[in-house]
Amino acid sequence: MKQTIIKTPLGSTKIIGDENGIAAITVLDDEVKPSDEIPTELTEAVEQLNAYFKGNLEQFNFKTNLKGTDFQKRVWKALLEIPYGKTTSYLELSKTLGDVKAIRAVAAANGKNPLWIVVPCHRVIGSDGSLTGYAGGLWRKKWLLEHETPPIQQSLF
């Protein structure tokens, strides 16, 4: 597996992958010097993440290589169905997956998401609209949601 570190508005971000696809994207708690070189296998992911943060990309399409249980993969696939700029609740996600009682398991799978931002776990909120747990920190979740839903400029006339 190859890796690179890039700088994003939310901190240093590590990208890990190989010719089979991107396996992990994580935001780091500490600032780390960005990598001098980006391995060829990671270039597309870096370019798309940079475009996302500039507001020029809403959906990622680079090759991924997700590792997890079948249930986790079902949850992550469901997360990919949440449109850019929209949110859903853990309860709604559980219903989508066919078992309203699986809410805790869905939340746990959400928390194990290996592809920060790309598999948009930040778009899942509490049923009451509250920002709930987020591995990268609630301030990052808030930033991402605001980034995806900028305020609408009201017409003056």
Q: Give catalytic residue positions.
A: 121
Q: Yes or no: say if 113 and 150 are a contact pair by the CB < 8 Å rule.
A: no
Dist. CA 61–CA 152, nearest whole Å: 27
Q: Yes or no: say if 15 and 6 are a contact pair by the CB < 8 Å rule.
A: yes
DSSP 137: -
Dist. CA 106–CA 93, nearest whole Å: 7
A 10 A CB-CB count for 96 gives: 16
A 10 A CB-CB count for 154 gives: 5
The amino acid sitting at 27 is V
